[in-house]
Amino acid sequence: MPLAVAANNMPVASLEWFLLVGAFLFACGIFTILTRKNAVSVLMGVELVLNAANVNLVAFSRFVKAPATLGPAGIELPKGVDPHLVYGAPWIGGNVFAAFVIILAAAEAAVALGIILGIYRNLGDVDVDQVTGMKG
Amino acid sequence: MAHGHDDHGHGSGHDAGHGSAAPGGHDDHGHGGGHDDHAHGAAAAGGHGGGHETHFQPAGMSRGLAVLVLALGVAGGFFSLGVTGHFDFGGRVIDLNDLFDTPWPALTVLCLPLVAAFVQIFVGRKLPRRGDWVSTGAVMVGLAISLMMFGRMIGIYDWQFQRIHEIEWIGLFTRSAPGQPDVTSFRIPMGILIDNITVIMLVVVTLISTLVHIFSMGYMVDEPRYSRFYAFLSIFTFSMLGLILCHNVFALYMFWELVGLSSYLLIGFWFEKKSAADAQKKAFLANRVGDIGMFLGIVTFFYFTGQITYAGIFKGVAEGAFSNHMGLLTIAGCLLFCGAIGKSAQFPLHVWLPDAMEGPTPVSALIHAATMVAAGVYLVTRMFPVFTPDALIVVAWFGGITAIFAATIALCANDIKKVLAYSTVSQLGYMIMGLGASAYTNGFFHLWTHAFFKACLFLGSGSVIHAVHTQDMREMGGLWKKMPITFGAMLLSTFAIAGVPGTSGFTSKDGILGDLLFAAHHHAALWPIVVFAFVGAGLTAFYMFRLIFMTFTGKPKVQEKFDHAHESPWVMAAPLVILGALAILSDKGGWFQELVGPPPSAASAAIRMDLIAHGQPVVEEAKESAHEGGEHESAEAHPSNEAASAETSTSARRHPYEDPLEHEKHPAHTTAMIISIFVAGSGIFLSWLTYQKKVISAPKIAAALPGVHNLLLNKYYVDEFITYFLVQPFLALAYGCARFDLKVIDFTVNAWGYFTVLCSRVAGLFDQKVVDGTVNGTADVVQSAGTALSRFQTGRIKTYLAWSVAGALLLVGGFHLVTNWKHVFVRRPAAVVEPAK
């Protein structure tokens, strides 16, 4: 996959490379979740999946620009209206979601660890295969 | 009165009052004065004390006599008021022509008994004296009005007099073009017709009804259902008055059935007795047979003329509605006559009348002697113009056969009421026979006179029965000393019915016989009838005097009953006296023949032509003027009204009927009179020899002719004949029908039921197997699907995740395939780039 070439002839990584990295991370995360028995390892796999999403978010934020004249939901702004005044600072984009995800991941890790502790307390183990209370 | 009355043939020996105005003859018993109603009321009130007397008491009798004279005075007062035509009421002159020119007096007469009947039915028992005064008062008011009408009729003295008051009862419209008024295409009027016949019948009905009401106060006083009896009497009076007053055949039919109903109710008044209950059913069914024929006749006339009023039917017939179907006109007349056969107890259907004697005796007097059974005669009189000559011959034959037939049965009857019943049948036969022989006036005249003397005879027999508590004449005898008033009244009536000269019965019967003889001269088919009539007259005299001799003279046969016998209380005696007097007086004055002329419309002109070789156009003219007169006066009654009231002397505008054939009839009447006097005299003489002198022995004659005696004793086996040839086949038919019902219809119904059950079973199976199976199957499918799918719910989070990922991959991959399948599966040819030229 060719690297993009910037105006100053320096090779620059294109969007696909970032998505490939994200997909790889996602695959690793899923693989970890499905193969590990240890709940903590599974949690780590979940972190990988989350971060794969973060990579994508940041990459899309960097490479995909919305048309300047379109407002939210694609509504065309009236002429003479500065989109900056509508959307705020132009550097705040999809990448902000990555920050949210990181924060949520931290909170989720705390909750998940609590759950794992609960499981450990109830079952004396952290093997997720043992947890079949939702069996139909 | 252009012609002398002595030429009439009838009434020549007793023409008191003939020379002067006809009313004079009636004032004889009416000049007592006493015009106020209070006297009348006092009479009624005074009567209450006497109702419970059980023995003949001179004091009570003299008081009764005083009340009787007072009542006669009041009645005469009403009558003479009517004759005068107006009276001064405190400065206000009241014009009595309004009696006819407005419908209200007639409607009052009609409706008061109905009101009384309702009062009696609902509150009768709670009223003082159990309410007999309500019914009696109602009919007394009717009598007062009727007497005024009667007087006014005598005052007007016009044989063509006619008033019609009608309303539109049913009118059906045909819608015409928009904006145009609708056309009435079909209308049925309802109304009343007042002419001389109506007024005469009104007097007959109200007078006899009043007397019977009064008589019943004594006769029925011990009855537990006393007020019901009066209610029934009132219903009957209402129905009979309606029958008389209505002006169309539909209403006639309705009232005809109503009198049948009241007859049914009253015959079966003592329904605890099985014989009474049977008799009432028999009467009703026998009448029903006749009424079906009558209804068909009415429908036929309606079909051909489109009219239901008498005048309309006569007009239609006269204008030739039947001109292409003269045979049908005869048949229609005969069908109409079927009603009269039933109601007037003519030969085949007479069987109900003797049995109807199971009813209380006052009822027999009112309904089964004087009024209701005369309804058939009235019907023939009313509808006379539509009877063709052939139909009239049929009518005459039925009447003639009935007259002699019933008279012979009466010879052997021992029950006093049965004798009178068969005598009634026989006399009705005379009336019918007279009408059939075109003795229109005299046939109707016999109705008038017969009503009084037969009511008297029946009430007299009631009085006798009341005294000796038996109806068997063989247990009576010598009663005249104990019951002088009853004896006197009954004797007078017996003279009348036997045809002793000077009595009313002589005049009317002789009129019939004379007309019959005259008609037979021109119509050979009537000769046997003439023989029947004269023989019947002799038999009538014989059996009626047999009744008198067996009951009142000779030695008492059962001493015990004789000792208990007593004269009836005056509430019972007074009606007898009045009726006995009328038996002698009711023909006097000659007004009847002058006021009841030939039929008002003379479609029967043809009949008279047929009977009379040289018919005269008089009748034709009479028809025209009568018809137009009626139309004119009903439309605008006032001109004639004013004319009448302007003239205080009514003689100036008298229009008596003058029979154009009088001179031709005269020899016939003379002959008939001579023969009938001879026949009646010999009948009385033989009766006297047999039952008084015992010179002739009745048992020996009976023993000599056992066949005849048995035949008469068993009433010619007519009842048995009807039983074996009509009732039994009918019952067999009914049983057959019942068997058919049970076997076939019930079988069909049951089979249908089984079939339905079977269908239900099948439907139930379908419901259980198919419908329920579907529902349960659905549930089973859902359950097994749930069971199958629950295997995916392992509870392991990793399984879920794996499925999710797989699903996501499937979705993404599938979506990619669906949207880009061409790129995936179809290899596009590489674009050929044209080299630039």
Here the CATH number for the domain that contains residue A36 is 1.10.287.3510
Is residue A78 in a domain? Answer: no
Give me the residue label for tokens 């407002």.
A71
Average pLDDT over residues B535-559: 89
Interchain proximity B796–A131, CB inside 8 Å: yes
State the nearest Cα–Cα gap between B828 and chain A, in angstroms.
24
Q: Span B281-298, mean pLDDT?
A: 92
Residues 257-286 of B with CB under 8 A from A: none
Mean pLDDT of B365-373: 89
Interface test with A, best of B789, B792, B801, B804 (most A CBs within 10 A): B801
Select, from the ranges B251-255, B387-391, B827-831, the one with the highest average predicted confidence (pLDDT). B251-255
Whether A133 is covered by a domain: the verdict is no
pLDDT score at B106: 92
Question: How confident is the model at residue B657, as a pLDDT?
Answer: 77
What is the reported pLDDT for B37? 35
**Distance (Å, rounded) from C-alpha B294 to C-alpha B249?**
10
**CB pair distance less than 8 Å for A129 and B794:** no
- Give the residue among B61, B47, B195 at the shortest CA–CA distance from B577: B61
Whether B69 has a pLDDT exceeding 70, the answer reads yes
Which pLDDT belongs to residue B25? 35
pTM of the predicted structure, to 2 decimals = 0.69
Interface check B649 vs A, CB under 8 A: no
Residue B10 has pLDDT above 60, yes or no: no
**What's the confidence (pLDDT) of residue B726?**
82
Residue type for position B637: A
Task: Classify residue A59: in a domain, yes or no.
Answer: yes
Q: Give the residue-averaged pLDDT of B479-500.
A: 91
pLDDT digits (tens, 9 = 90+) for B196-243: 999 999 999 999 999 999 999 888 888 888 999 999 999 999 999 999
To the nearest whole Å, the CA of A88 is away from the closest chain B CA by 35
CA distance B685 to B692: 10
Total number of domains in chain A: 1
Q: Report the C-alpha gap between B158 and B195 in whole angstroms.
A: 10
Outline where B220-273 has alpha helix (H).
Answer: 226-245, 249-267
pLDDT attached to residue B723? 82
Does A41 map to a domain? yes
Reported as a single tens digit per residue, the pLDDT across B11-39 is 333 333 333 333 333 333 333 333 333 33
Show the beta-strand stretches assigned E in B658-770: none
Cα distance between residue B826 and residue B641, in whole Å: 120
Q: Which residue has the higher pLDDT, B797 or B149?
A: B149
A34 in B contact zone (CB under 8 Å): yes
Looking at residue B653, its pLDDT comes to 59
The nearest CA of chain A is from the CA of B793 a distance in Å of 5
Residue B170, helix vs strand vs coil:
strand
- pLDDT over 70 for what percent of chain B? 84
Contact B794 A132 (CB under 8 A): yes
Asked whether residue B537 carries a pLDDT value surpassing 90, the answer given is yes
Across chain B, mean pLDDT equals: 81
Model confidence band, residue B43 (pLDDT cutoffs 50, 70, 90): very low
The answer to whether the CB of B263 falls within 8 A of the CB of B283 is yes
| Among the ranges given (B15-24, B261-270, B404-413, B490-499), the one the predictor scored with the smallest mean pLDDT | B15-24
> Which of A34, A131, A133 comes nearest B801 by C-beta?
A34
- Is A11 a member of any domain? yes
Q: Nearest residue on chain A to B805, judged by CA atoms?
A: A30
Using the Cβ of A112 and the Cβ atoms of chain B, whether some distance falls under 8 Å is answered with: no
Query: How far is the C-alpha of B226 from the C-alpha of B132, rounded, in Å?
Result: 8
Q: Note the pLDDT tens digit of each residue in A14-73.
A: 888 889 999 999 999 999 999 988 999 999 999 999 999 999 988 887 777 655 555 555
* Contact (CB<8Å) A136/B795: yes
Is A135 in contact with B798 (Cβ distance < 8 A)? no
Q: Is the per-residue pLDDT at B481 higher than 50?
A: yes
The answer to whether residue A136 scores a pLDDT higher than 70 is no
- Alpha carbons B447 and B596: distance in angstroms, whole number: 13
Q: What is the pLDDT of residue B630?
A: 40
- As a whole-number percent, the residues of chain A with pLDDT over 90 amount to 38
| B790/A34 Cβ within 8 A | no
Query: Which residues partner with B158 through β-bridges?
Result: B655
Can you give the pLDDT at residue B204?
Answer: 93
| Higher-pLDDT residue of B559, B36 | B559
Strand locations in B366-462 (E): none
B504 — pLDDT class (breaks 50, 70, 90): very high
Q: What is the mean pLDDT of residues A106-127?
A: 91
Domain span at residue A100 reads: 4-67+83-123
CA torsion angle B339 B343 B348 B352 (round to 10): 150
**In the A/B pair of chains, how many CB contacts fall below 8 A?**
31
- The pLDDT of residue B716 is above 70: yes
Q: Does B808 touch chain A (CB under 8 A)?
A: no
Give the pLDDT of residue B799.
Answer: 86
- Tell whether B798 is within 8 A of chain A (Cβ): yes
- For residue B293, the tally of other CB atoms under 10 A from its CB is 19
Q: What is the pLDDT of residue A26?
A: 93
| pLDDT exceeds cutoff 90 at B496 | yes
User: Is B796 part of the contact surface with chain A (CB cutoff 8 Å)?
Assistant: yes
| Chain A contact present for B810, CB below 8 A | no
All residues of chain A having their beta carbon less than 8 Å from the beta carbon of residue B794 are: 132, 135-136
Which chain A residues are within 8 Å of B801, Cβ to Cβ? 30, 33-34
The predicted model gives B436-448 an average pLDDT of 88
Confidence of residue A92 (pLDDT cuts 50, 70, 90): low
Whether residues B801 and A131 touch (CB distance < 8 A) is answered with: no
Residue A118 covered by a domain: yes
Whether residue A131 lies within 8 A of chain B, CB to CB, comes out as yes
Query: Would you say B267 and B362 are in contact if contact means Cβ atoms under 8 Å apart?
Result: no
- Which amino acid appears at position B627 of this protein? H
Q: What percent of chain B has pLDDT over 90?
A: 40
Instruction: Report pLDDT digits (tens) over B510-530.
Output: 989 998 888 888 778 888 999
Binning pLDDT at 50, 70 and 90, where does residue B1 land?
Answer: very low
The predicted pLDDT at position A4 comes to: 61
Least confident among B205-209, B608-612, B688-692: B608-612
Report CB contact under 8 Å: A30, B792: no
Q: Which range in B234-243, B464-473, B572-581, B641-650 is most confidently predicted, on average pLDDT? A: B234-243
Q: CA-CA distance, B11 to B590, in Å (whole number)?
A: 8
- Cα–Cα distance measured from residue B752 to residue B760, given in angstroms and rounded to the nearest whole number: 12
A46 at the B interface (CB within 8 A)? no
Identify the pLDDT of residue B94.
82
B802–A34: do the CB atoms touch at under 8 Å?
A: yes
Q: Which residues of B85-99 are buried (b: 16+ CB within 10 A; e: fewer)?
A: bbeeeeeeeeebbeb
* Residue A77 covered by a domain: no
- Distances in Å between the Cα of B333 and the Cα atoms of B213, B280, B301, B393, B663 are 36, 28, 9, 11, 30
Residues 6+ apart with CB under 8 A from B402: B345, B346, B347, B350, B425, B426, B428, B429, B432, B433
Pairing mode, if any, of strands B162-174 and B86-89? unpaired
- Whether B116 shows a pLDDT value over 90: the answer reads yes
* A13 in any annotated domain: yes
| Whether B825 contacts chain A with CB within 8 A | no
Token pair belonging to B710: 């048995």
> What one-letter code names the amino acid at B225?
R
pLDDT at A67: 53
- Residue whose token pair is 């079973």: B761
pLDDT at B814 over 50: yes
Amino acid of residue B477: G
Residue B59 pLDDT level (bands cut at 50, 70, 90): low
- Which residues on chain A are in Cβ contact (under 8 Å) with B798? 33-34, 128-129
Q: Is B613 on the interface with A (CB under 8 A)?
A: no
